[in-house]
Amino acid sequence: MSIFKAPKIDCHVHVLDPVNFPYGKDIEYKPSGQEIGTPSQLRQVMQTYGVSHALLVQPNSGYGSDNSCMLDTIARGGGRFKGIAIIAFDADLAALHELKAQGIIGAAFNPTFHGIDYYKRSADLIGKLAQLDMFLQIQSEHDQLSMFVPWIEAMPIRVLIDHCGRPTPEAGLDQPGFKALLRLAATQRVSVKLSGYSKFSQVPYPFDDTWPYVAAIVDAFTLDRCLWASDWPYLRAPQRQDYGPLLELAQMLFPDPAERRRLFCDTPRRLFGFGDDAGTMRA
């Protein structure tokens, strides 16, 4: 079966629809042109490439903590979508319960955007997420992940790591942040998205300086804790990126169809509770 038609779940996409959901006036970066990805455009991409379900991630760009566009997309998605929201650190359990009822499965932390100090007061929210069996999703780079490791090890929180942890390729596999990531495999509560290569690679597609990191992640976490994601529609991409070549790269890195099935379908369906129809696309 063609890699483009094989069943799959995309574990990191954004929706941006400034016509129907205007950007926040105080948001510094407002995506435009080919960066915009409306719900209808996302559905067309999914249909074209055999993607049955997707995990929507609230972008700091355009919307910040206004999750309205994403929540509307989930509500209209017929069960195809779940979401990772930006949630205030002081959110109470009632607010989290309400978000969970709307298809939100976790909270997004992005120290690559806000910096590390911003999250030093987030421990209470992490504890509440753990209490409700929701995910903490972290997008970090270089050695930023190290600050979160003690919290992750101490609290029974399920964690998603974006974009391979965005290591620094020239620093090698022994760099502190990447070693901290691999250390988290022992918790059995952390999963890693094999995605976002252009965000940390120093070379053009197919980003071969990132491959040793992918191999080390798969070796430590196994494909039962690894997920594929496109990062569509590629906000602030340093170079042009397209969906098809990313799928071909996954086929190159994982030539065994059974391994791709685990990466594309079995693992995300188990972790996120998508329906048993993950191999088919509903009209």
Residue 249 CB contacts under 8 Å (≥ 6 apart), including other chains: 197, 205, 206, 207
Decide if 24 contacts 104 (C-beta within 8 A): no
Could you give the percent of the chain with pLDDT greater than 90? 94
Measure the CA–CA gap between 240 and 259, rounded to whole angstroms.
28
CA angle 174-175-181, nearest 5°?
Answer: 90
CA angle 144-146-152, nearest 5°?
Answer: 120
100-140 pLDDT, tens per residue?
A: 999 999 999 999 999 999 999 999 999 999 999 999 999 99
Q: How confident is the model at residue 275 (pLDDT cuts 50, 70, 90)?
A: confident
Please name the helix (run of DSSP H) or strand (run of DSSP E) that holds residue 104, with its range, or none: strand 104-109
- What is the average pLDDT across 8-35? 97
Decide if 134 contacts 155 (C-beta within 8 A): no
Hey, how many other C-beta atoms are within 10 angstroms of the C-beta on 88? 11
The domains found in the chain, sorted by start residue, are: 8-270 (3.20.20.140)
Q: Name the pTM for this structure.
A: 0.95
Measure the CA–CA gap between 231 and 229, rounded to whole angstroms.
6
